[in-house]
Each structure stands twice: as structure tokens, then as C-alpha cells.
């Protein structure tokens, strides 16, 4: 029987993993995932659906066993002691995961008891207070709005006072103010030394992270600070007016284009690497005036997701 090795949940490097992999049958859900995070860092896992973000979070939460790789989370061997990790990592699932027939307070209290929190009622009272949930304490969760439900779910993930917090698309479906409040809470927690991993589709949220990783079909195709990821994508953006341009035709015939992002009056043509001469000629033939634009993280991720090889100029 495995007994947890002596460890320190306040480890200076809460996440230090290398080459983690997970397959579901023939499908590669996650391959060669390596990450090192210091205390208080916020890591954003971005990318398309099915990229492996949720699988990565589930492995770190001790929910799924990794098929490959190794590493330490909160100072303990990830693959040897998932039970130990589950007792110390805060995990907020992608979907609503609260008991709808129970009140907010009952949901939190149940969690506190499951985590063997020393004084469950006191802990719950504090969380209700910190996240403005007191007025809903005796309200059934099923009667709350989606935003409040998500906020309760966030508070539930914090019940064990985790040093590592894993949030799977925490702001999905939330309005802007609720989303901003949640990110403010994440920032406060990070400032207090909690390491946070967030998966998100909203690339504007990635700018709030210290480090991001771009997940594409189970692989981390780029990671680092947002600016580094944009630079490494080699995305080049050309903005052209939409008049006289057909999206399908552009996507099919414009040489080397990775993504065509259609707007009301103008559209961005995103290339990986330099713009091929043939593409410039294609635009000139259609009398389309073009101007260069700064690539955004969205452009960078689009380039990674499109998987177009670098095109020679």
C-alpha cells in the first residue's frame, strides 16, 4: 500500500511535471505535457475543444491517472499519491456540479465535511461572506442564476483552502461583471500564494495569466507569456475590406492563409510566417487594398489550431 511520502503542501514549486500523457483507447487526449509553476503563478490553458485542457486538469487533480510522464504536485509524486492530492487540490469542474436540491450552505457544508475541515460551519460562513453568498445561503442551488451558481461552485472549490486551484472554464456562460469578479478573486488568491491553473476558451482572459499553454489535439504547441506565444506563432495579419471578397473563396484559394476572420466591414487574413507572394498577387488581382495589423493572441492560437505549415515566401 502506498503511503504518502513526507511532504510540504506549501512547496515552493507547487507544480513540476514532465511529459504527462493520457490516452483514451486509440485517441491521444494529452501528450508530453510539461509544466513548472511557482507559488502564486496563474497558468492559462487555452485552445480549441478536445485540446486536452480538461484532461490535464483532471490528472493534476488526482482524478485521472496519467499513462506517461512523471512529476510532483504540491511536493508529492503525482502518479503515486492521487488520494493525497485530492484532499489538498481545489478543483472546479467545467459543468455545474452542485446538488441542485440542496441549499448553498448545505452544498458547502457537505464539501467541508468531506474534506474533513476542522470547523466546517466556520469555514462555510467565511466563504459565504467572502464571496457575497450570505443572502443565498438558504436558497436551493437550483433556484440560483447561472452566474451565482458558478460563484457558489468557485467557493466550493476553495473549501479545503487549497494551495493549488484548478478551474475548468470557470467563466463559461457568465456575464462580464460576474466574470470580472471571479477573475478578481483569482488574482487575490494568487497574490496570497495560491497557484492557479485555469482552462478557458476566452482568449481575452489569457492576458490575465502569467503563463499560458496552447493545447491543440492533446499537444501543447506553445507555452510561455502571452507575448512570447504570439511571437512564436509567427502570425502575420493582413486587414482587407470585405467588399469584393468571398470568405469561402478566400479560404480555398488564398495561398498560405491559416485563418480568415470575417468582420462587418473588414476581415483579417492570418498567415503563418511571411505572406506568400502568390497571396499578395491574389489580393492585387482583386484590387483589395491591404494593411498590416498587429497579431493578437487569438491570431496566434488560430495559427496553431489551423496547423498550417510555415509557408515559404
Partner 1 sequence: MNPLNCRWHQSVVRTLTLAWLESLAIRRDPVILVMILIVPALQVALFGYALRPLGSAASVVLARADKDPGALQLLEKSGDFRVVADGLSEEEALARLRRQEALVAIVVHPPSASTGAVAITVYADDSDPVRSNPALSKLESLYWRQVADPDFVPQTEVRVERLYNPQSRNEWILTPALSGVVVMISMLMLGALSIVRERERGTWEAMLSTPVNALEAIVGKALPYQLLGCAQATLVIGCCRVLFGLPLRGDMPAFGLFLVMFIFAHLMIGLTISAAAGSQLQAVQGSVLIYLPSMLLSGFLFPFVNMPWWAQRLGALFPLTYYTEVARGVMLRGQDAAFVHARTLPVAAIAASALLAAVMVFRRRLP
- Tell me the site size for partner 1, rule CB under 8 A: 22
- Closest approach, Cβ 228 to partner 1, in A, equals 31
For position 172 contacting partner 1 by CB under 8 A, the verdict is no
Q: Which of 20, 96, 26, 86 is nearest to 55 (CA)?
A: 20
Q: Could you tell me the smallest distance in angstroms from the CB atom of residue 168 to partner 1? A: 9
Report the interhelical angle of 146-157 vs 120-130 (nearest 10°).
130
Report the site for partner 1 in 83-142 (rule: CB under 8 A): 83, 86-87, 89, 91, 93, 95-100, 111, 114-116
Query: Which cell numbers in the block locate residue 180?
Result: 470580472
Find the shortest distance in angstroms from Cβ 51 to partner 1. 18
Nearest to partner 1 of 218, 256 (CB atom)? 218
For β-strands 211-216 and 266-272, DSSP reports them as: unpaired
The residue among 98, 95, 33 whose CA lies nearest residue 68 is: 33
Q: Whole-number minimum distance, CB 166 to partner 1, in Å?
A: 9
Planar angle of CA 54, 23, 79, nearest 5 degrees: 75
Calpha distance 155→161 (Å, rounded): 10
Q: Which is nearer to partner 1, 117 or 190 (CB)?
A: 117
Residue with cell 475541515: 117
Residues 231-270 vs partner 1: string with x where CB under 8 A?
Answer: ----------------------------------------
State the Cα–Cα distance between residues 91 and 225, nearest whole angstrom. Answer: 24
Residue 265, C-alpha cell as written in the block? 466591414
Minimum CB separation from partner 1 for residue 119, in Å?
A: 17
Helix (H, G, I), strand (E, B) or coil at 173: coil
Helix (H) or strand (E) holding 107: helix 104-114
Nearer CB in complex with partner 1: 99/262: 99
- For the window 42-71, what string marks contact with partner 1 as x by the rule CB under 8 A? ----------------x--xxxx-------
Interface ranges with partner 1 (CB under 8 A): 58, 61-64, 83, 86-87, 89, 91, 93, 95-100, 111, 114-116, 156
Amino acid at each position: 500500500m502506498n503511503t504518502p511520502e513526507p511532504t510540504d503542501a506549501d512547496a515552493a514549486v507547487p507544480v513540476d511535471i514532465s511529459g504527462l500523457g493520457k490516452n483514451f483507447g486509440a485517441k491521444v487526449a494529452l501528450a508530453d505535457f510539461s509544466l513548472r509553476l511557482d507559488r502564486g503563478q496563474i497558468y492559462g490553458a487555452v485552445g480549441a475543444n478536445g485540446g486536452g485542457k480538461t484532461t490535464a486538469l483532471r490528472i493534476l487533480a488526482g482524478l485521472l491517472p496519467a499513462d506517461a510522464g512523471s512529476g510532483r504536485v504540491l511536493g508529492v509524486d503525482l502518479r503515486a499519491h492521487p488520494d493525497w492530492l485530492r484532499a489538498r487540490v481545489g478543483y472546479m469542474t467545467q459543468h455545474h456540479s452542485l446538488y441542485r436540491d440542496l441549499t448553498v450552505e448545505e452544498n458547502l457544508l457537505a464539501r467541508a465535511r468531506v474534506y474533513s475541515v476542522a470547523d466546517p460551519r466556520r469555514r462555510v460562513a467565511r466563504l459565504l461572506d467572502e464571496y457575497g453568498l450570505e443572502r443565498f445561503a438558504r436558497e436551493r442551488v437550483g433556484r440560483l442564476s447561472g452566474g451565482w451558481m458558478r460563484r457558489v461552485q468557485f467557493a466550493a472549490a476553495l473549501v479545503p483552502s487549497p494551495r493549488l486551484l484548478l478551474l475548468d472554464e470557470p467563466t463559461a456562460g457568465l456575464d462580464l461583471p460576474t466574470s470580472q469578479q471571479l477573475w478578481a478573486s483569482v488574482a487575490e488568491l494568487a497574490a496570497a500564494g495560491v497557484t492557479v491553473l485555469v482552462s478557458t476558451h476566452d482568449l481575452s482572459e489569457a492576458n490575465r495569466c502569467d503563463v499560458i499553454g496552447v493545447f491543440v489535439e492533446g499537444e501543447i504547441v506553445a507555452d510561455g507569456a502571452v507575448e512570447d506565444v504570439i511571437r512564436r506563432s509567427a502570425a502575420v495579419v493582413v486587414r482587407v475590406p470585405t467588399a469584393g471578397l468571398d470568405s469561402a473563396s478566400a479560404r480555398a484559394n488564398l495561398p498560405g492563409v491559416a485563418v480568415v476572420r470575417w468582420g462587418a466591414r473588414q476581415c483579417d487574413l492570418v498567415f503563418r510566417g511571411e505572406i506568400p507572394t502568390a497571396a499578395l498577387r491574389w489580393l492585387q488581382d482583386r484590387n483589395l487594398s491591404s494593411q498590416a495589423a498587429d497579431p493578437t493572441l487569438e491570431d496566434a492560437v488560430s495559427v496553431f489550431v489551423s496547423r498550417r505549415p510555415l509557408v515559404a515566401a
